Structure 1
Amino acid sequence: MIEVKQNNGEKHGNFEAFIDGKNAGMMTYTWAGEDRFIIDHTEVQEAYNGMGVGKEMLLAAVNFARKEGKKIIPLCPFAKASFQKDEDLQDVLV
């Protein structure tokens, strides 16, 4: 099972993914004002490629945005492609 934890700072934050307590990946973001954030990088540890780690971190970001009334600007190629593929996630886009 993939566990995702959010670390949110004043200017930057990230979503960290863990599998069996081991770091599996990280998605970083930068705040762009009070109501939107930019997903700028997604990285999955090589041992966990193909296991849906990136998707779980993206879903955590989308759930956070929905819950807090925020919008997402996906600059990271992975996030951008994921949003283009899944219309159900596009409600949080700027």
Structure 2
Amino acid sequence: MTDQTPAPIVRNVADRHRYEILVADESAGFTAYRDRGEQRVFYHTKIHEAFSGRGLASQLVREALNDVRAAGKRVVPVCPYVKKFLSKHEEFADVTDAVTPEILQWLDAELK
């Protein structure tokens, strides 16, 4: 018997400031961001427990970063998972900016 589960789909839900990953039309998780000029500041990634262990976080973040690149924006990895992903995937170094105290202060104000 073969697995008939459709491939996961990643979509940008701009009005909610996040990318979501869907498995069979069910939300499996998200990575949240805020835009700061030409920077997309990622601050939280979550895969729901029922979907953990499938590599979905990696797929989600990779596709989100590809979308950021295609949009001509830059990535700021405040989220620990995104930061860890970037440390292992140097192909995104050209679109990555460092997290600074100024960005953290700005993000804190944005999220209040």
Work out which of the two has the higher radius of gyration on C-alpha atoms and give 1 or 2. Answer: 2
Could you tell me which residue of structure 1 aligns to residue 89 of structure 2?
A: 86
Q: Which has the higher helix share?
A: 2
Q: Structure 1: state its 5+ residue gaps.
A: none
Matches within 5 A, 1:37-52: 37-52=40-55
Matches within 5 A, 1:48-87: 48-87=51-90
Q: Displacement, 1:21?
A: 1.1
Corresponding position: 1:8 with 2:14: yes
For 1:6-28, what per-residue CA distance to the aligned partner results, in whole angstroms no more than 9, with x for missing partners? 1114xx61101111111100110
With normalisation by structure 1, the TM-score equals 0.89
The residue type equivalent to 1:43 in the other structure is: K
The residue type equivalent to 1:30 in the other structure is: R
The residue type equivalent to 1:87 in the other structure is: E
Q: Structure 2: state its 5+ residue gaps.
A: 1-6, 98-112
Corresponding position: 1:24 with 2:28: yes
Q: Displacement, 1:89?
A: 2.1
Where 1:69 maps in the other structure, the secondary structure is coil
Q: Which has the higher contact order (CA 8 A, sep 6+)?
A: 1
Where 1:51 maps in the other structure, the secondary structure is coil
Aligned-partner Cα distance in 1 for 2:64–2:27:
17
Runs of 4+ in 1 over 2 A off after TM superposition: none
Q: Which has the higher strand share?
A: 1
- Aligned pair count? 91
> Root-mean-square deviation (CA), in Å?
1.2
Where 1:91 maps in the other structure, the secondary structure is helix
